[in-house]
Amino acid sequence: MNRSPIIVALDYPCLADAVALARQLDPALVRVKVGKELFTREGPAVVEALQNLGFELFLDLKFHDIPNTVAAALKSAAALGVWMVNVHASGGRRMMEVASEAMASISSPPLLTAVTVLTSMNDQDLAEIGISAPAAEQVRRLALLAKDCGMDGVVCSAQEAPMLRDTCGDSFLKVTPGIRPVGADAGDQSRVVTPPDAVAMGVSHMVIGRPITRAASPTRAVAEIIQSLQSR
């Protein structure tokens, strides 16, 4: 089984590009993530193509709807045989409870994680939609709720991981984007953390896109990240 904490974000517009990159990666060393852009265009075919290459796949569609609709969508995702799926924790208790019940009703279900507060949102954005709590407090509240509703973990920023380790425990998954290997370009990510620091902060899985997908050698980029984790 793949025990690597690395999930490569295949943020491409089409199946051919995603598969071309994936062919340069080793499914024993990384998992892959397919998001809304690629899945909306290519659908289950892209999931199948990547699985045929041997990859475990995080289908990052962040479902957020009424409980019945989310449960049905999750069952459709599970039927694709994906490794992880996710919802928005702000869909609330009933939505997440029904979601985890739906997963419990099938054999070998995917891991189910919840997005707490989008890291693109700051305290002012939250206030504008009627949430007066600071982002960190809202993250904590939603993570505890997600755990109580049977989620396997949350998607969060690495900065939040130590606090979530204290409140939700080590085994509650913390899946984190915004990771940049030492010396890599931060791009449009404003608060970045290196892979060894992320692990030290309690992150269980790191989502890494461009530092791998746009590297001159994606294979070497992965090897260097793994090396940095081993020597930490």
Strands 173-176 and 31-34: unpaired
147 in active site? no
Of the pair 66, 182, the CB lying nearest ligand C5P is at 182
Helix (H) or strand (E) holding 113: strand 111-115
Q: How far is the CB of 188 from ligand C5P (least distance, A)?
A: 7
Which residues bind to ligand C5P, rule: CB under 6 A? 9, 11, 35, 118-119, 177-178, 187, 189, 207-210
Answer whether 207's CB lies under 8 Å from 33's CB: yes
Q: How far is the CB of 120 from ligand C5P (least distance, A)?
A: 6
As a whole number of angstroms, the distance between CA 136 and CA 138 comes to 5
Cβ neighbourhood burial of 182 (10 Å; 0-12, 13-18, 19+)? exposed
Q: How far is the CB of 155 from ligand C5P (least distance, A)?
A: 6
Instruction: From the candidates 33, 62, 75, 174, give the one annotated as an active-site residue.
Output: 62
Within its chain, how far is the Cα of 212 from the centroid? 16
Of the pair 67, 181, the CB lying nearest ligand C5P is at 181
Of the pair 93, 214, the CB lying nearest ligand C5P is at 214
Q: Indicate which residues carry an active-site annotation.
A: 62
